[in-house]
Amino acid sequence: MLVLGIETSCDETGVAVYDAAQGIRAHRLYSQIALHAEYGGVVPELASRDHIRKLLPLVDATLEEAGVAGRDLDAVAYTAGPGLIGAVLVGGTVATGLAMGWGVPAIPVHHMESHLLAPLLEESAPDFPFVALLVSGGHTLLVDVAAPGDYTVIGESLDDAAGEAFDKTAKLLDLPYPGGPSLAALAEHSNVDRFDLPRPMLKKPGLDLSFSGLKTAVMLKVRELTEANALDESARADLANSFQCAVVETLVAKSIRALDATGYSTLIVAGGVGANKKLRADLQHELAKQNRNVFYPRPEYCTDNGAMVAYAGAQRIASGRQAAEGVVAKARWTLDELSRI
């Protein structure tokens, strides 16, 4: 089975060809970072227009690299949400048009399900059941994954997502967009957790998370250091490091709590913040001590990409779930509602 995957939910245009027998045959990504950098964040209308410009040439190049003609495909999968609605509509209409032309089904895919399934693209793939820690720019979720397609959200952020907290904190430190990778890079210049920042929701029972208080604590620290004329390079690096330590410690503790609650011994981590080196290393270290396993996609499959969409589409077909009528595009869409496409 050959599936073309198209991702356009935010600021990356991603395209890939998944072959059920061989794995990913080709995947290409066009990032809009340069386009949005001068605004300090994603401008939705510019994102949609750029997807329009880049998507078809990227599809042609990816098919050529994979050595596949459109008519050889069994399906075209696309991200149907959640995401920026204009950007999602571009991917959905292009995918549906191509699929009609080639006489194959167009398969709408849930963005967070595709993140959740990305670790299964790796050679060393997890077995079901597992807990998924999904940490992206728009969502932070702990999910009980009993089987393919059987997802129960057991914890989520009550306010900012982990990636959003990275992005907003990076802005406070005058770091360029996208904030997560810039903040992580600055934190590497520090080796002390110097500032006593809160570990949100750790003292309370349960699996929900919250990051807006942590961001406010950084804001107050920035103000205090600026007023004392003490926000030099080393203080900025230490503050970035303390923030990263607080987020990582919280995510590690909540993930372990989710494993305890479900009785599972496997965790998977996916979504953009899953590319964070400290999060990956600390989870590996802590779970190894408990004889538990953690699986990640390679970093390029953690952030948005077409490979995970093609794979999720292939899984939908394999599980017998049908293609939808027309174009599906949803700005908001919880994982719990997945079966109701």
For ligand KG4, the binding residues (CB under 6 A) are 10, 136-138, 163, 166-167, 178-181, 184, 271-273, 275-276, 303-304
Tell me which of ligand KG4, Zn ion, none is bound by residue 138, counting a contact when its beta carbon lies within the kind-specific cut-off of 5 to 8 angstroms.
ligand KG4
Nearer to ligand KG4, 95 or 184 (CB): 184
Nearer to ligand KG4, 63 or 238 (CB): 238
Tell me which of Zn ion, ligand KG4, none is bound by residue 166, counting a contact when its beta carbon lies within the kind-specific cut-off of 5 to 8 angstroms.
ligand KG4
Closest CA to 14 of 105, 78, 93: 78
Shortest reach from residue 131's CB to Zn ion, in Å: 19
Torsion angle, alpha carbons of 115, 117, 118, 121, to 10: -170
Among 136, 182, 190, 242, interactor with Zn ion by CB under 5 A = 136
Distance CA 10, CA 83 (A): 6
Judged by CB under 5 A, which stretch of 73-81, 129-137, 157-165, 179-187 contacts Zn ion?
A: 129-137
CB 24 within 8 A of CB 17: yes
Does residue 164 belong to the site contacting Zn ion (CB under 5 A)? no
Q: Which long-range contacts (CB under 8 A, 24 or more apart) does 315-320 make?
A: 315/117, 315/148, 315/149, 316/77, 316/107, 316/109, 317/1, 317/3, 317/74, 317/75, 317/105, 317/107, 318/1, 318/20, 319/148, 319/149
Shortest reach from residue 112's CB to ligand KG4, in Å: 8
Class of residue 225 by CB neighbours under 10 A (exposed 0-12, middle 13-18, buried 19+): middle
Residues numbered 286 to 315 that lie near Zn ion (CB under 5 A) are 304
Shortest reach from residue 231's CB to Zn ion, in Å: 32
Shortest reach from residue 134's CB to ligand KG4, in Å: 8
